C-alpha cells in the first residue's frame, strides 16, 4: 500500500480499532457517534477513498450511484450486508466486505441469554424487582419453562448457528436445523436435518433464527409458519428483524398461540420497532447487542481494517461479498 488512503468512518469505533486504523490510513472519524444522514455521508466521503460503515447506514442503489468515483470500497463493520445493495456496488466497481467469524461466540451467548430470559420470564421478574412489586413466594409464582432436554430448532446452521448448537448441548437440548442443504461436518454432530422450514417448526420447542436477511428470507416467519409452532414454543431472533413478520409474531404472543419470544433485532430499529413487543409480558427484549463485547468489537474492527489493507495493496480481501 502506497500513500495513506482516506477512510470515512461513519460511527465511533473502539479506541484500539481507531488507533490501528490511523496507523495505516487517514481516517475521518465520528467521535460524537452521531448517526449521519445519507446526504451527510455523501458529503463527507467526497475526500475519501473508502468507507467503513456499520449496519446503521444504508447504501441503496441510488446512494451507491452517487458515491464519488474515488471510493474503492465499503468495508462493513458487520457480518450482515443487507444494508448495502451488493449488485449496485458491483456494477459501480466498489468492493464490499464484511466481518464474519469473529462474532459467532458473542452472538451465540446472546441467543442463549434470550432463550433463558424468555423461557424463565426474566423480563417480567426484573421489572417486578425494579418496581418493588415482589410481595410473596408461592409454587404458582413466576412459573416459566425449562430448557433442559427441549428440542432446539436452528434456522440457518451457519457459523453462529453451529456455536449455538454447541452451547445448547450443554443444556441437553436436542438439535434440529434447516438449511438449504444438509451439512455433514463436525459442527453439526448429531443434529437432525429438516428439508423445509415447515417441517422444522413442527418439531421444535425453541426456534432460534440465524439466517441472513435477503429477498428469500424477508418475512419468512409469517403467520402461517408461526401457526406450526406449539403453544409452549419460544422464538428467539439474533439475526435480522426482517426475517420476522412483526404483526404475525405479536398476534401469536398476544393470543397465547406461542409462549414467548426473546429478541435482539427488529424491523425499524431502533426507533420504529413494533410497539406490541414492548407492551407484552412474554417478550424478553435486548437492544441489538449480539456482538457487544470488547473482544468481539475489537476483532470486527481489525477484520475490517485487514480487508481495507488488502484492497489498497492490490490484493483480494479475505471477506469480499461484492
Round to the nearest angstrom and report the end-to-end CA distance of the chain.
Answer: 21
State the catalytic residue, choosing from 18, 26, 124, 269.
269
State the catalytic residue, choosing from 240, 274, 297, 303.
240
Q: Is 288 a catalytic residue?
A: yes
Q: Is 135 a catalytic residue?
A: no
User: The sheet that has 151-155: what strands, in order across it?
Assistant: 192-193, 174-178, 151-155, 206-209, 234-237, 260-263, 283-285
State the catalytic residue, choosing from 274, 288, 297, 303.
288
Q: Is 269 a catalytic residue?
A: yes
Residue 87 backbone zone (phi > 0: left; psi -120 to 50: alpha; other: beta): alpha
Provide the annotated active-site residues.
240, 269, 288
Amino acid at each position: 500500500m502506497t500513500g495513506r488512503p482516506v477512510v470515512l468512518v461513519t460511527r465511533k469505533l473502539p479506541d484500539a480499532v481507531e488507533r490501528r486504523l490511523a496507523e495505516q490510513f487517514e481516517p475521518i472519524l465520528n467521535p460524537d457517534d452521531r448517526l449521519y444522514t445519507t446526504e451527510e455521508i455523501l458529503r463527507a466521503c467526497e475526500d475519501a477513498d473508502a468507507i467503513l460503515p456499520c449496519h446503521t447506514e444504508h447504501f441503496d442503489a441510488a446512494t451507491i450511484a452517487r458515491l464519488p468515483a474515488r471510493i474503492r470500497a465499503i468495508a462493513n463493520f458487520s457480518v450482515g450486508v443487507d444494508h448495502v445493495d451488493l449488485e449496485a456496488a458491483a456494477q459501480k466497481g466498489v468492493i464490499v466486505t464484511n466481518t464474519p467469524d469473529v462474532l459467532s461466540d458473542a452472538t451465540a451467548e446472546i441467543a442463549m441469554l434470550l432463550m433463558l430470559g424468555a423461557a424463565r420470564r426474566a423480563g417480567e421478574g426484573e421489572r417486578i424487582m425494579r418496581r418493588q412489586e415482589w410481595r410473596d413466594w408461592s409454587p404458582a409464582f413466576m412459573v416459566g419453562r425449562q430448557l433442559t432436554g427441549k428440542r432446539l430448532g436452528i434456522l440457518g446452521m451457519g457459523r453462529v448457528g453451529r456455536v449455538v448448537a454447541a452451547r445448547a448441548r450443554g443444556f441437553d437440548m436436542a438439535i434440529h436445523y434447516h438449511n438449504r442443504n444438509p451439512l455433514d461436518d463436525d459442527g453439526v454432530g448429531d443434529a437432525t436435518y429438516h428439508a423445509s422450514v415447515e417441517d422444522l417448526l413442527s418439531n421444535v420447542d425453541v426456534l432460534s433464527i440465524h439466517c441472513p436477511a435477503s429477498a428469500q428470507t424477508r418475512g419468512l416467519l409469517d403467520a402461517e409458519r408461526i401457526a406450526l409452532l406449539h403453544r409452549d414454543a419460544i422464538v428467539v431472533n439474533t439475526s435480522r428483524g426482517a426475517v420476522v413478520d412483526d404483526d404475525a409474531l405479536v398476534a401469536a404472543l398476544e393470543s397465547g398461540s406461542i409462549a414467548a419470544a426473546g429478541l435482539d433485532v427488529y424491523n425499524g430499529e431502533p426507533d420504529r420497532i413494533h410497539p406490541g413487543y414492548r407492551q407484552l409480558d412474554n417478550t424478553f427484549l435486548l437492544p441489538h447487542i449480539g456482538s457487544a463485547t470488547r473482544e468481539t468489537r475489537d476483532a470486527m474492527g481489525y477484520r475490517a481494517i485487514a480487508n481495507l489493507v488488502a484492497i489498497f495493496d492490490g490484493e483480494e480481501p479475505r471477506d469480499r461479498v461484492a
